[in-house]
Amino acid sequence: MELYGIFEWIYGLLADTGLPEPWLTFVVYLGLGVVIFGTLSVLALFLVWWERKIAGHIQQRFGPMRTGWHGWYQTIMDAVKLLQKEDIRVTTRDKAVFFWAPVVCFVAAYLAYVVIPFGENLWVADLNVGILYIIAVTTLTVISLLMAGWGSNNKYALLGGMRSAAQVVSYEVPMAVSILTIIVFSGSLSMVDIANSQQGNVIFNWFIFKPPFGIIAFLTYITAATAEANRTPFDIPEAEQELVAGYNVEYSGMKFAMFFLAEFVNLFTVSAIATTLFLGAWHGPLLPSWIWFLLKTFGMVLLLMLFRWTFPRLRVDQLMEFAWKFLVPLTFANLILAGWMKYAGWHW
């Protein structure tokens, strides 16, 4: 596509200057990284605004209205404000852990985008273990939350950190298993291969429409992903009515902004993965592939936002029960049945 063309053009341009090969790759990937990072940060800012608007309209109010048309640059102004704010550091903190927690959180949030295909020929790297990589790096977030909870030296923060550790680790299992169901369908761990195996302009090629396993895997994935992204009804690590703000209660200014932004990048990540795995990735008629991808992803984001603004919050033990007593058996049964059907050679 067009963007990929631009990169090839830049690559060629740099090759002409006679830059040696390892440097050439480094520069190009650095550029690519900056572009992805920039795009996603802007996207996350946009998502914050969008969430606030959606929350507002669901609740029959306006949401941000002051800055620009319907407050479109509200989050940018918020970010500027947070940058200017004093960085309050509690004296009893664990200095190194307190400092690195938001950084780890922020970086971990972006790592998944190495393998997510944004469109036809529009990805950073097509790892042959792409989905495994995603499962691995998205779990990194939990370390940062635990670090934040521990480093703050605050009881509320510690409770939040412990909760998030328990929650994310638990929900990693059903999430991975429901993703495995898709791997059974596609026969590949590569994100691009998974996307390509849903090709065809008829939506029935999408894995979500492989009844009943596809839809079950989709629903379990969405549930687990909501928990992974720490969003209501699974937002117990920061449950503001119980733990005030949970793990980030002692953070202010830019450090808080990093947590906040990472949360919305995570929201986009889980939606993008859902799009790639279940909703036919970038495939769609007429429009360019990356627009299809964004449309589907935003659809998913909308769904997750609707969750957030509709449901109450689960309790921490109920959350665990739900994961281990309901989701894990269900996803395993789903996986085994799907694998058996595949083995038996039945097609849908």
Partner 1 sequence: MGVLKDFFNLVKGMTITGKHLGRHAVTIQYPEQKMEMFERSRGVVVLLSDKETGELNCTMCMLCMRACPTAAIQIDAPRDENKKRVLNSFVIDNTLCCYCGLCEEACNFCAIKMAPLYEFSTWNKDDLVWDVKKLQEMGRDVPYEDTRKKKPAAADKPAAEKKPAAAANPGADAKPAAPEAKPAAPEAKPAAPEAKPAAPTEKPEETKDEAAPSKAEPSDDDKKGDV
Partner 2 sequence: MSPLRTEEFTINMGPHHPSTHGVCRLILTMDGEKVLKVEPVIGYLHRSIEKICENRTYVQCVPLFDRFEYVTSMSCNMVFSLAVEKLAQIEVPERAEYLRVIMLELNRIASHLLFYGVTAMDIGALTPFLYGLRERELIVDLFEMTCGQRLTYNYIRPGGVSRDIPPEFIPKCREAVKIITEKMSDYEGLLNENPIWKVRNVGIGYLSAEDAIAWGVSGPVARASGVSYDIRKNDPYSIYDRFDFEIPVHHNGDCYDRYLQRLAEIKQSLRIVTQALDGLPEGEIQPKKKINAITFKPPAGEVYARVENSRGELGTYVVSDGTNKPLRVKMRGGSYNQLQALPIMIKDCLIADLVAIFASLDVIMPEVDR
Residue range at the interface with partner 1 (CB under 8 A); choices 42-50, 73-81, 149-157, 305-313? 305-313
Give the span between the Cα atoms of 134 and 282, in whole angstroms: 18
Establish if 305 lies at the interface with partner 2 (CB under 8 A). no
Q: Which is nearer to partner 1, 113 or 298 (CB)?
A: 298
Give the span between the Cα atoms of 217 and 290, in whole angstroms: 24
User: Taking the complex as a whole, how short is the minimal distance between the CB of residue 6 and partner 2, in angstroms?
Assistant: 43
Both tokens assigned to 246? 């949970």
Establish if 316 lies at the interface with partner 2 (CB under 8 A). yes
Phi, psi of 312 (to 5 degrees): -75, 175
Establish if 128 lies at the interface with partner 2 (CB under 8 A). no
57 binds, among partner 1, partner 2, none (CB under 5 to 8 A by kind): partner 1
Asked if 122 and 3 touch (Cβ cutoff 8 Å), the reply is: yes
Establish if 57 lies at the interface with partner 1 (CB under 8 A). yes
**In 206-239, which positions are buried (b, 16+ CB within 10 angstroms) versus exposed (e)?**
bbbbbeebbebbbbbbbbbbbbbbbbbbbbbbbb
Q: Which is nearer to partner 1, 25 or 59 (CB)?
A: 59
Collapsing DSSP to helix, strand or coil, 119 comes out as strand
Establish if 62 lies at the interface with partner 1 (CB under 8 A). yes
Q: Which is nearer to partner 2, 162 or 262 (CB)?
A: 162
User: Taking the complex as a whole, how short is the minimal distance between the CB of residue 309 and partner 2, in angstroms?
Assistant: 5
65 binds, among partner 1, partner 2, none (CB under 5 to 8 A by kind): partner 1
Residues in 230-249 at the binding interface with partner 2, rule: CB under 8 A: 232-233, 235-236, 239-244
- Closest-CA residue to 322 (of 173, 216, 177): 173
235 binds, among partner 2, partner 1, none (CB under 5 to 8 A by kind): partner 2
Matching residue, tokens 């008829």: 202
Give me the residues paired with residue 122 across strands: 119
| Residues contacting partner 1: total by CB under 8 A | 14
Residues in 96-115 at the binding interface with partner 2, rule: CB under 8 A: none
By CB atoms closer than 10 A (0-12, 13-18, 19+), residue 16 is exposed
User: Taking the complex as a whole, how short is the minimal distance between the CB of residue 333 and partner 2, in angstroms?
Assistant: 21
| Residues contacting partner 2: total by CB under 8 A | 30
User: Taking the complex as a whole, how short is the minimal distance between the CB of residue 21 and partner 1, in angstroms?
Assistant: 53
Task: Kindly write out the interface string for residues 306-335 of this chain, putting x where it contacts partner 1 by CB under 8 A and - elsewhere.
Answer: xx-xxx------------------------
Residue range at the interface with partner 1 (CB under 8 A); choices 49-57, 134-142, 200-208, 264-272? 49-57
User: Which 8-state DSSP code applies to residue 286?
Assistant: S
Q: What counts of helices (H) and strands (E) characterise the chain? A: 13, 0
Establish if 24 lies at the interface with partner 2 (CB under 8 A). no
User: Taking the complex as a whole, how short is the minimal distance between the CB of residue 330 and partner 1, in angstroms?
Assistant: 9
Cis, peptide link before residue 212, omega less than 30° from 0: yes
By CB atoms closer than 10 A (0-12, 13-18, 19+), residue 295 is middle
83 binds, among partner 1, partner 2, none (CB under 5 to 8 A by kind): none
Residues in 29-58 at the binding interface with partner 2, rule: CB under 8 A: 55, 58
- Distance from CA of residue 288 to its chain's centroid? 23
Give the span between the Cα atoms of 124 and 35, in whole angstroms: 11
Asked if 233 and 311 touch (Cβ cutoff 8 Å), the reply is: yes
Residues that bind partner 2 (CB under 8 A): 55, 58-61, 155-156, 159, 162-163, 232-233, 235-236, 239-244, 309-318
Residues that bind partner 1 (CB under 8 A): 54, 56-62, 65, 306-307, 309-311
